[in-house]
Structure 1
Amino acid sequence: MSLDNQIKDTFQRVFNSEPQIIVKSPGRINVIGEHTDYNNGFVLPAAIDKGVYIGISAREDDKIELFSIDYNEKYDTDTTSLTFGPELWTNYILGVTRILSKKSDKISGYNLVVVGDVPLGSGLSSSAALTCATSFALSKLFDLNLSKLDIAKVGQQTEHEAVGVRCGIMDQFASVFGQDNSLIKLDCRSLDYEYIPIELDGYEILLLNTNVKHSLASSAYNKRREACESAVALVKEKYAEVESLRDVTLAQLDELVKPVSVEYYQKARFVVEENERLLKAAEALKSNDIKTLGQLLYAAHWALSKEYEVSCEELDFLVSTVSTYPEVAGARMMGGGFGGCTINIIEKGKSQNVIDKLSNLYFNKFNLNLIPIKVSISNGTHEIL
């Protein structure tokens, strides 16, 4: 049964009514450019065909009733208290509702059913998909007239305020602005963006899920951001015009940060060099230079692992192993880190060979199943009912 039909059936069973609106907001991949978004750098994401679906209808009172099909859980609150539930999924939905309620007095009670096919904890941004789907659905239901950028920014603000993850805007932007068969080269400082058609001539994208669940809220994610901000502060003491690592040169890091803190220097240097790798990758994609793109992915992975220190043994094993396979042009960890997926550029038709070779090796080493995820590039947040 399709996910939108699951929502309709569940709505009827739980609320004895039909949803007025059903929306889908996709997860995302990111070809290259990790931990650059909150440093005002560049990213290269795309929306994928897997996402979060929300069905919603207005009530005649101030009660809010939520139901998650994936968790088989129901949670109730009201528009006055907007009390979060014991499970994280309620925080995302009600966090969005809190923010929008402060912006508009139009929001009243509602019933909501949510379901998704983005593997949780895989680094495909299921949380961004959930917040963007919620914003879009509430905007449609209560005529809030939110723009695409409004929706992305509300999603980012929800992560900051309701969940405590000081993320950049990449995940939400990709989820909302996604376009079929295109990557988004996004400047996270100006929010200017360019669609780059993804035509991997003779190659395909395969994600390999380590089955290691990460939680950015409890990880070192925020500490990495603090290190970058501390490096900027050191440079700014001499160069007042500097606002973020986007404005910083390697020479400035060598002069002003390295003598003070090797930790700050290492993290900041990664970000500066990752931006350079991304710009080269964008040009490689435009000229269909898959060999160069692949080399940049490998370089990005080992920098994330050894310099930014956000990888893990499972991710490193996967990337190290596929680097010996001639049919794999490039691979790296994807997402915030500490688990999740690798993204792999593989000769078309040979993904199953890679899966077959890797699966037993991975299970024997970590006693974990390797989960392949095949994705296609899709449109962003949209209404389907």
Structure 2
Amino acid sequence: MSQTLIQEVKTKFISVFAKEPLLVFSPGRINIIGEHTDYNGGFVFPAAVDKGIAAAIQKSDVDGCIAIALDLDSEIKFELDTLKPSKEGSWENYVFGVVAEIQNRNKIIGNFNIVFKGNIPSGAGMSSSAALENSVVFGLNELFELGLTKTEMILISQKAEHNYVGVKCGIMDQYASMFGIKNNALLLDCRTIESEAFEIDFKDHELMLINTNVKHSLSDSAYNDRRSACESVAELLNIETLREATEEDLEGIKDKVTPENYQKALYVIQEIERTQQAAKAIKENDLEKLGALIYGSHNGLQHQYKVSCVELDFLVDQAKKNKHVLGARMMGGGFGGCTINLIAKSESKAFAEAAAKAYKNKFKKECSVYFVALSEGTHLVK
């Protein structure tokens, strides 16, 4: 967690509103494996990281509310009783959505002001949106003593994204950001919304993210398309989600679905299995096995689910050429964002430089490299 970030929002809040705020830090997340399985009722394996969003929040004595996005240098005033989504793609929809969903639960909140700032690399697929939603709901719960549980809070955050942002996301991002545990990844069962924490000792390896710095415009529409494809296959199988399906079940309706949708559903069934295998590998301290499963995940995302892109595939191919990288894959919704790489610490600097150079030669643009540590979920900062 960045102390400077906390200090910045606190200083700004006091200078604008002349009041001591409550301070909340809400982390972004990575996902080790289990991509596009969450909205299929499957397993995912995320962890909160040491980058995120800091928010300063306090009750207001005057009419209306003010939200300030410090890193965007943007400010919005709004009334609690006339909330509606603003134009598509606006940051304030995350704030409005959370407030609206709290009110939908008949919880009473008063006027408030909030200042926030993040250090999650933009477009990296590390869920800055979930971190923002969680910081707002967590702060308001504290401020107005709403008595919401953490589980209720993440469902509010998820609904905000569905109804105000228009992305039908699963629950993983909000869950990992809220419930993260230092040095642990969470094997989350998205059907029961319960998780098991796995302490990970990466020994002489570490996690490195390489951001392609591209975001292809397909992402949101393709995400919703994939989701409806999975739902239609589940319906044909007469089950609630693909979590309940086996490869044999899918084989039985092969002639009723398009080859593309067959492959998408097959990917989901296999990825749910890979995610459970990954938990087992971590329990057994078998990083080689974990790495192989991570490579398998990328292969499925690239060839079956088709949510990768040439830039992501190029970076994963670079990783495969280096024996010090145990596993690499695209992370997040796809069509851009980051690869996650499990790499020997002693070699990470050399690999980062070589991959960045090759990437620049190939695409005439820079990629960015980050190292992340697994950290604590959304919390008050004393």
Q: TM-score range by the shorter chain?
A: over 0.9
Where do residues 89-128 of structure 1 align in structure 2 (5 Å cutoff)? 89-128=91-130
Shift of 1:99: 0.8
CA contact (8 A) 1:203 1:347 kept: yes
8 Å CA contact 1:201–1:288 kept in 2: the answer is no
Q: For 1:311, which of 303, 308, 313 is the aligned residue?
A: 308
Instruction: Give the AA of the match of 1:161.
Output: N
Q: CA deviation at 1:83?
A: 4.2
Q: Which of the numbers 283, 288, 299 marks the counterpart of 2:280?
A: 283
- Do residues 13 (structure 1) and 10 (structure 2) align? no
2:55 aligned residue = 54
Q: C-alpha separation between the residues in 2 aligned to 1:81 and 1:132?
A: 22
Alpha carbons of structure 1 residues 146 and 333: separation in structure 2 relative to 1, 3 Å: same
Displacement of 1:258 in angstroms is: 4.2
1:358 pairs, out of 355, 360, 372, with 355
**1:302 lines up with 2:302 in the alignment:** no
Alpha-carbon distance in structure 1 between the residues aligned to 2:154 and 2:104: 17
How far apart in 1 are the matches of 2:37 and 2:127? 16
Identity of aligned residues (%): 44
Deviation string for 1:195-214 (max 9, x for gaps)? Answer: 00111122111011111135
Q: Deviations over 1:21-62 (max 9, x none)?
A: 010110001100000000000000000000111111111244
Native 8 Å contact 2:41 2:242 kept in 1: yes
Tell me what 1:142 maps to. Answer: 144
Q: Match for 2:257: what amino acid? A: V
- Asked if 1:218 corresponds to 2:196, the answer is no
Counterpart residue number, 1:32: 33
Inter-partner Cα distance in structure 2 for 1:335 and 1:164? 17
Structure 1 residue ranges without an equivalent (≥5) = 237-241
- Output the aligned Cα RMSD: 1.5
Count matched residues.
379
Q: Match of 2:267?
A: 270
TM-score, scaled to structure 2 = 0.96
C-alpha contact 2:307 2:335 (8 A) present in aligned 1:
yes
Question: What corresponds to 1:239 in structure 2?
Answer: none
Question: Is the 2:278–2:289 contact (alpha carbons within 8 Å) kept by the matching residues of 1?
Answer: yes
Q: CA deviation at 1:13?
A: 3.0
Question: 1 CA distance for matches of 2:270 and 2:129?
Answer: 28
Whether 1:186 aligns to 2:188 is: yes
**Aligned match for 2:331, one of 330, 334, 340:** 334
Q: 1:188 to 1:216 in 2, by over 3 A?
A: farther
Task: Provide the residue aligned with 2:132 in structure 1.
Answer: 130
Report the Cα distance in structure 2 between the residues aligned to 1:363 and 1:133, rounded to whole angstroms: 36
1:250 is matched with which residue? 247
How has the CA–CA distance of structure 1 residues 285 and 214 changed in structure 2, closer, same or farther, with 3 Å as cutoff? farther
Q: Matches of residues 159-238 of structure 1 in structure 2 within 5 Å?
A: 159-213=161-215, 218-236=220-238
Contact 1:77 1:83 in 2 (8 A): no
